[in-house]
């Protein structure tokens, strides 16, 4: 390794004063050996994980600090790596320390910086797995949530919001344990798949022995060159009726929790939905459109011509039939009266080894101030939804996503303050 390489591994956050302290230790004869500078600095009580600022110079950077976590009212990126984690520790103190440790690492990641261990020593594992080196921040957002099981595991059920309960069984659910539940989630979204994966990999690695991945799923969204709503793998535009992410007043109604330690946070619902592409592809365009309740090409509601044109779900034609069939997905979803912020990604994970059918579909993700909003929509779809013929829900989870973090604070502080 060259000298210039070595320099790169020295975290720029070390102040000159600290270097003097280190030199002092060197003089005092403390061996800077196998444990590296990082170990030495920890040994001397140096806070390796002091607050890190949002970069003001990074390219394609989403800010970490603010009233809400990133990845909710952040413009949807092209890639996701979503991980649901089991927590292996049992002490509340350790859990709190974990979030304190994660917080500055998340800022580094979102800055597009290496999560560097303070070491020039190549004889220890590096502080960052390194595969994102040379890539920019790629609009990385990172969102943490806690699941219902976490509260039971730590004996803090009294702090579990009443809204945070496992989703009920829905008709046609065929959930698989290996894609369901989790104590914690990390949602990493970026405009580069390697940046998103790198974030989850490194956060889990930094918590080695404390958490393990229960299940994870990568996904993608492809945007038309001129912008606009991406199409899912059924080729229909997905997300048309979403609340605007810039309309804070509307988000207050739909997305942000307004009470308790979760105030400013939101509930994340994740559903791994397999889409039976072969069945869909044998269906006529007319039937596909009657299933969605929208035109495939324009995304407009049936009977309308423009994607964002409003529609009357009860409108009937001259024969007295619903313009938008009452078994269509959009008809039933609209009729539920409930609103959610969808932030879904497609996945294509090879084929089912038993059938050769595509193992592809939608990693459905929605944010809402109460999971009941999602439940209302899903119950309205119920057994009626024509879409049921073409999809199977394989995975499910719900998480309470912390409010945003102010500099000097850490992820989940409001929860730990309430302990």
The interface with its own copies within residues 26-85 (CB under 8 A) comprises 59, 81
| 363 versus 381: smaller Cβ distance to its own copies | 363
- Residue nearer to its own copies on the CB measure, 246 or 353: 353
Beta strands in 369-414 (DSSP E): 391-401
- The answer to whether 79 touches 191, Cβ cutoff 8 Å, is yes
Among the listed residues 29, 45, 134, 209, the single contact to its own copies using CB under 8 A: 134
Of 302 and 405, the one with the shorter C-beta distance to its own copies is: 302
Q: Which of residues 262-281 bind its own copies (CB under 8 A)?
A: 277-278, 280-281
Q: Does 1 bind its own copies (CB under 8 A)?
A: yes
Segment contacting its own copies by CB under 8 A, of 15-23, 161-169, 218-226, 255-263? 218-226
Within 300-319, which residues bind its own copies (CB under 8 A)? 300, 305
Residue 332, classified by CB atoms within 10 Å of its CB into exposed (0-12), middle (13-18) or buried (19+), is buried
Q: How far is the CB of 50 from its own copies (least distance, A)?
A: 24
Shortest distance in whole angstroms from residue 320 CB to its own copies: 21
Among 156, 360, 372, 414, binds its own copies (CB under 8 A): 360
The residue range among 20-28, 49-57, 98-106, 195-203 that interacts with its own copies, by the rule CB under 8 A, is 195-203
- By the rule CB under 8 A, 390 interacts with its own copies: no
Q: Which of 296, 307, 379, 392 binds its own copies (CB under 8 A)?
A: 296
Taking the complex as a whole, the smallest distance from the CB of residue 234 to its own copies amounts, in Å, to: 7
| Minimum CB–partner distance for residue 354 and its own copies (Å) | 10
**Distance in Å, CB of 67 to its own copies, minimum:** 31
Stretch that binds its own copies, among 216-224, 245-253, 330-338, 380-388 (CB under 8 A): 216-224
Q: Least distance to its own copies from the beta carbon of 294, Å?
A: 11
One of 348, 372, 384, 414 touching its own copies (CB under 8 A): 348
Residue nearer to its own copies on the CB measure, 261 or 280? 280
Give me the phi and psi of 100, to 5 degrees please.
Answer: -65, -40
8 Å CB contact between 62 and 56: no
The reply to whether 292 sits near its own copies by the rule CB under 8 A is no
Q: Which is nearer to its own copies, 98 or 132 (CB)?
A: 132
Terminal Cα distance for the chain, rounded: 48
Query: Does 389 help bind its own copies (rule: CB under 8 A)?
Result: no
Q: CB atoms < 10 A from the CB of 294, how many? A: 24
The one among 35, 55, 242, 283 contacting its own copies by CB under 8 A: 283
Nearer to its own copies, 358 or 369 (CB): 358
CB 178 within 8 A of CB 349: no
Q: Rule CB under 8 A: which of 227-256 touch its own copies?
A: 228, 231-235
Of the candidate spans 18-26, 65-73, 139-147, 297-305, the one that interacts with its own copies by CB under 8 A turns out to be: 297-305
Closest CB 236 distance from its own copies, rounded Å: 8
Q: How far is 210 from 197, CA to CA, in rounded Å?
A: 19
Using CB under 8 A, count the residues that bind its own copies.
71
HEC profile of the chain: CCHHHHHHCCCCCCCHHHHHHHHHHHHCCCCCCCCHHHHHHHHCCCCCCCCCCCCCCCCCCCCCECCECCCCCCCCCCEEEEEEEEECCCCHHHHHHHHHHHHHHHHHHHCCCCCCCCCCCCCCCCCCCCCCCCCCCCCCEEEEEECHHHHHHCCCHHHCCCCCCCCCCCCCCCCCHHHECCCEEEEEEECCHHHHHHHHHHHHHHCECCEEEEEEEEEECCCCCCCCCCECCCCCECCCCCCCCCCHHHHHHHCCCCCHHHCCCEEEEEEEEEECHHHHHCCCHHHHHHHHCECCCCCCECCCCCCCCCCCCCCECCCCCECCCCCCHHHHHHHCCCCCEECCEEEEEEECCCCCCEEEEEEEEEEECCHHHHHHHHHHHCCCCHHHHHEEEEEEEEEEECECECECECCCHHHHHCC
Task: Mark the segment that binds its own copies (CB under 8 A) among 68-76, 147-155, 166-174, 285-293.
Answer: 285-293
- Report 90-109 residues binding its own copies (CB under 8 A): none
Span 317-346, contacts to its own copies by CB under 8 A: 346
For its own copies, give the closer residue by CB, 21 or 210.
Answer: 210
């Amino acid at each position: 390794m060259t000298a210039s390489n070595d320099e790169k591994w020295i975290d720029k956050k070390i102040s000159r004063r600290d270097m003097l302290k280190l030199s002092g230790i060197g003089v005092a004869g403390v061996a800077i050996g196998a444990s590296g500078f990082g170990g030495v600095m920890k040994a001397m009580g140096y806070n390796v994980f002091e607050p890190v600022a949002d970069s003001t110079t990074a390219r394609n950077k989403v800010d970490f600090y603010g009233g809400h976590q990133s990845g909710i009212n952040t413009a949807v990126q092209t890639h996701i790596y979503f991980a649901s984690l089991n927590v292996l520790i049992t002490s509340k103190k350790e859990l709190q320390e974990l979030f304190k440790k994660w917080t500055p690492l998340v800022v580094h990641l979102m800055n597009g910086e290496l999560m560097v261990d303070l070491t020039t020593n190549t004889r220890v594992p590096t502080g960052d797995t390194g595969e994102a080196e040379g890539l920019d921040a790629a609009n990385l957002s990172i969102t943490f949530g806690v699941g219902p099981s976490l509260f039971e595991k730590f004996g803090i059920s009294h702090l579990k919001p009443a809204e945070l309960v496992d989703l009920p069984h829905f008709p046609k659910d065929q959930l698989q344990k290996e894609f369901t539940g989790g104590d914690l989630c990390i949602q990493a979204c970026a405009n580069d798949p390697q940046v998103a994966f790198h974030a989850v990999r490194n956060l889990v690695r930094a918590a080695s022995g404390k958490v393990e991945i229960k299940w994870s799923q990568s996904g993608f969204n492809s945007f038309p060159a001129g912008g606009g709503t991406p199409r899912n793998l059924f080729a229909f535009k997905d997300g048309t009726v979403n609340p605007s992410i810039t309309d804070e007043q509307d988000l207050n109604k739909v997305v942000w929790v307004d009470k308790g330690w979760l105030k400013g946070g939101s509930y994340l619902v994740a559903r791994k939905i397999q889409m039976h592409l072969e069945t869909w592809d044998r269906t006529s365009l007319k039937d596909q459109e009657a299933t969605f309740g929208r035109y495939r090409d324009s995304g407009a509601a049936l009977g309308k011509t423009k994607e964002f044109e409003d529609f009357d779900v009860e409108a009937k034609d001259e024969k007295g039939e619903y313009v938008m069939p009452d078994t269509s997905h959009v008809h039933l979803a609209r009729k539920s009266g409930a609103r959610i912020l969808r932030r879904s990604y497609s996945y294509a994970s090879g084929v089912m080894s038993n059938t050769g059918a595509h193992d592809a579909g939608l990693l459905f993700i929605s944010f809402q101030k109460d999971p009941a909003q999602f439940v209302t929509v899903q119950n309205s779809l119920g057994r009626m939804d024509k879409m049921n013929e073409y999809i199977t829900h394989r995975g499910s989870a719900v998480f309470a996503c912390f409010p945003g973090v102010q500099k000097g604070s850490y992820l989940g502080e409001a929860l730990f303050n309430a302990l």
